[in-house]
Amino acid sequence: MAKAVISYDKDLPEVPDRLAHLKPDCHLIKKTAEEYEIVEGRRPSKMLLVNRLREAVDRWRDDGYPGASSITQRLFQFWFEEDHLLNGSTFKYYFGQREAVETLIYLIEIEKNRDAKPLIDSFAEVFKKDMFEYKIEHQTTMDGGRQIRRYFPELDSDGLQDLPPENLRRYAFKMATGSGKTYVMAMIMVWSYFHKKLVKGSDLSTNFLIVAPNVIVHQRLEKDFASNKIFYDLPLIPPEWQWNMKVILRGESTEPDPSGNLFLTNIQQIYESRDEEWTPTNAVDAILGRKPVKDLASYQRSMLERIKSLKDLVVINDEAHHVHDEELVWYKTLMAIHENIPKGLALWLDFSATPKDQNGTYYPWIICDYPLAQAVEDRIVKAPLIVHQVKRSDPEKVTKNNVTDVCGEWLLAALERWKEHYKTYKSLGPRPVLFIMAANNVIADEIGSWLGDKTNNTGLKQGEVLVIHTDSTGEITKSSLEEARKAARDIDNPTNKIKVIVSVLMLREGWDVKNVSVVLGLRPFTAKAKILPEQAVGRGLRLMENISPDRTQTLEVLGTKDFEDFVRKLEEEGLGIKTVTKPPPPTHQNRTCARKEEIRYSNSINPACLSS
């Protein structure tokens, strides 16, 4: 059994000897309140299409990918069969990444799928409950839209869901935070690019648009894709093939290249409303239209204009749960692009750890499910666990004036746990960070001031505590945006001085730092807030770097009873969450790097330490 970096009074649930690059053949289930057992077989998915798609793709893989194009055969051989060294260590893609790419290609090349209705007819699972069988019914709305009525296991109820327009190939990938969905995006781009170049009659594309929901997600994606970095850092392109991709970032006026383009932007940059609107000033203007640009040499097309001028395009949405509602500007903007391109979008791909619509139901076009429970069992993210140390009822009325009194026990308990992490990890390199979720910005400010006040003997200075303001949905406010961007860039650096972050929520997507190891929740979560447990802890799940893979990294969660109960809902997704009470001090030393022959999986491309 693997030992945790931080020792606890109970063993953490795990699947011994699990390797992330192999197909799972067993999984954990909760046996009693305190016990877990390993059962044979893969964890079933609750997604509409996934279980039957897995069976089909498994058969296709086992048979050697019959019917696949020569491009697909070569890439699968290069990616999954050939040996790769990355920074001196063996590199392998996770099975979850492999299966995601295989499933998409299976649907395109083997099933020849172009539409959601035949996809559902072929692969949808009919769920049964209490001897009743819930079949799927197709129907058409008054305005011609398409819907299905089906049973939702996640809600234990039935209802309606909209489908994508006819002949729009839209697929979603449900992949846990930290499972490497950026790598899957890059693999799909490589496949589509060479398929379009080398397969006669290919209806794919060498043009790509990656859309982020905000600037911070864009900043994270830019680190990987700017200057084609990810394509040269990872074993993505067979050595005999030539990659020629122009990368165009937000704010750049570069014109697209005929050979291939990657537009990387946040959605706000391509809203149609951003293009300059024109209103005629008189009757003559109304008849003649807008005057032409006088200086054509100086005229620069907007990013939206350049995208609409392409002959074909693949759209990739990161954190795609922002797209769901047809009334949202994000959806309308992409549909306008789809309708403007001669043959429509070649592919519309949604990536998210929580691809749910505003009703809390999973998209019916999800084709891949790599849940957090599997990522934890594969040991590619931290193992979340609840550390219960405050035995008192939750405070009823928390205000700026009383927060440090009524929440003081939780604050002190979280500080002690963080100090233990800081002391243990200090000799290993990473500097753990404590993240505190407050009820509102005013209370967050008060907690931040209290923590940094040396008269309170917290051991912290003002410059070591960062308060980030968010709105009610978790989006960072403009006043805190620059500080949040800087923290997202620098907080994992060894020279980082920030030790505690206080905010209203665990921040939204893109703020994916690795050194958060203790989370304190001091705010209630209601259905109205539409915050999921995965989102409450997701920003702290990524593994710290240069820690031996035979040590389990943990994300400790402390908080009020309401908050602990909220996080415990992750067990509904199959995740084993242990509750511990009195974690003893560590009794073993940890090596900062594993043996030279260890497998280096695809969660990091930073240089590894090679000495034993």
Per-residue pLDDT for 525 more than 70? no
Write down all domains in the chain, each with its CATH number in brackets.
Answer: 50-274+301-370 (3.40.50.300), 381-601 (3.40.50.300)
What whole-number distance in Å separates Cα of residue 85 and Cα of residue 88?
6
Give CA–CA dist 417/583, Å, rounded. 9
219 vs 227, higher pLDDT: 227
Question: What mean pLDDT comes out for the span 177-202?
Answer: 96
DSSP H helices, 214-360, are 215-225, 229-233, 283-288, 303-308, 329-340
Mean pLDDT within 373-389: 92
Closest C-alpha among 425, 423, 414 to residue 5:
425
Output Rg (C-alpha) for the chain, integer angstroms.
25
What mean pLDDT is predicted for residues 131-154? 86
Q: H or E stretch including 500?
A: strand 500-503
C-alpha–C-alpha distance, residues 130 and 132, integer Å: 5
85-99, 421-435, 508-522: range with lowest mean pLDDT:
508-522
Residue type, 152: F
Neighbours of 515 (CB within 10 A): 21
Region class of 248: left (phi > 0), else alpha (psi between -120 and 50), else beta: beta
pLDDT of amino acid 422: 93
Q: CA-based angle 7:538:541, to the nearest 5?
A: 35
3-state SS, 280-307, equals: CCCHHHHHHCCCCCCCHHHCCCCHHHHH
As a whole number of angstroms, the distance between CA 231 and CA 190 comes to 8
Say how far apart CA 587 and CA 334 lie, in whole Å. 55
Would you say 221 and 210 are in contact if contact means Cβ atoms under 8 Å apart? yes
Mean of all residue pLDDT scores within the chain = 84
Give residue 233's pLDDT band: very low, low, confident or very high (50, 70, 90).
Answer: very high
Cβ proximity of 247 and 264 under 8 Å? yes
Q: Taking a C-beta distance cutoff of 8 angstroms, is the pair 50, 355 a contact?
A: no
CB atoms within 10 A of CB 186: 23
Lowest mean pLDDT among 237-241, 341-345, 512-516, 593-597: 593-597
How would you class 19 by CB atoms within 10 Å of its CB: exposed for 0-12, middle for 13-18, buried for 19 or more?
middle
pTM of the model: 0.87
Q: Do 381 and 543 contact (CB within 8 A), yes or no?
A: yes
pLDDT digits (tens, 9 = 90+) for 6-65: 888 777 888 988 999 999 999 999 888 778 899 999 999 999 999 999 999 999 999 999
In this predicted structure, which of 170-174, 313-317, 575-579 has the lowest mean pLDDT? 575-579
What pLDDT was estimated at residue 608? 30
